[in-house]
């Protein structure tokens, strides 16, 4: 396992930075912020996350251990892979992303390429208390409601049977008119 690499930035390509470590060039996927901070010809130390799959071996590099830690937390959220996590970390500094998660700023997180409302909400729900900042009470924002409040709601039960968690089902249905038929509420929730 590669934990860190120290070397000289030899190239900055469209979406990777090549770090020359004693004659071996490592291609690293980096955040937009780190890409701007790394300078060709200058020495650098990066913290590395290795993503190895069948025919794929990607390296993700971070200038701070803190940003790498946040990246790994994002990977722990269901449905988020390394590229999406890197996209989330590229919408602002690591601190700004942490603050958005802790404060429940779904719109900020949705700015990341490939991140929809549902994924952004899942990130907030799962990580708001884990990012090291004081989180917002999601019940007060209306983003998360207690599961017992929805017992007997056929639309919630239908979404749960389709694989949603009770909390995700409640979030998906929260802005949909309760006067609509159950079938119509489910259709609108699935579209959202």
Confidence class for position 112, pLDDT limits 50, 70, 90: very high
DSSP letters for 73-109: HHHTSTT--HHHHHHHHTSS-HHHHHHHHHHT-HHHH
For tokens 């120290």, what's the residue? 6
Residues sharing a CB contact under 8 Å with residue 11, sequence separation 6 or more, in sequence order: 17, 18, 25, 40
Complete domains list, the chain, with CATH: 4-62 (2.40.50.140), 65-137 (1.10.150.20), 145-191 (1.10.8)
CA gap 30, 16 in Å, rounded: 6
Please give the radius of gyration of the chain, using alpha carbons only, rounded to the nearest integer: 20
Give pLDDT, residue 152.
54
When the pLDDT of each residue in the chain is averaged and rounded to a whole number, the result is 84
Cβ proximity of 97 and 78 under 8 Å: no
The mean per-residue pLDDT over the stretch 140-155 comes to 50
Instruction: Give per-residue pLDDT as tens, 61-108.
Output: 999 999 999 999 999 998 899 999 999 999 998 889 999 898 888 899
Assess whether pLDDT exceeds 70 at residue 13. yes
Cβ proximity of 19 and 7 under 8 Å: yes
Q: Range with the lowest mean pLDDT among 18-22, 72-76, 102-106, 130-134?
A: 130-134
């Amino acid at each position: 396992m590669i934990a860190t690499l120290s070397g000289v930035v030899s190239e900055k390509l469209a979406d990777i930075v090549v770090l020359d470590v004693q004659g071996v060039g490592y291609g690293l996927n980096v955040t937009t912020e780190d890409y701007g901070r790394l300078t060709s010809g200058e020495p650098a130390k990066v913290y590395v996350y290795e993503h190895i799959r069948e025919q794929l071996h990607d390296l993700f590099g971070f200038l701070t251990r803190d940003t790498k830690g946040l990246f790994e937390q994002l990977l722990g959220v269901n449905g988020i892979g390394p590229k999406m996590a890197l996209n989330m970390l590229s919408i602002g500094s690591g601190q700004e992303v942490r603050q958005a998660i802790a404060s429940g700023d779904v719109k900020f997180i949705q700015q990341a390429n490939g991140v929809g409302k549902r994924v952004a909400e899942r990130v907030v729900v799962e990580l708001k208390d884990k990012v090291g900042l004081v989180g917002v009470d999601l019940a007060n924002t209306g983003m998360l409601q207690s599961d017992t409040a929805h017992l007997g709601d056929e639309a919630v039960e239908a979404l749960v049977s389709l694989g949603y968690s009770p909390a995700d089902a409640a979030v998906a249905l929260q802005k949909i008119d309760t006067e609509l038929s159950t079938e119509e509420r489910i259709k609108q929730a699935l579209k959202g």
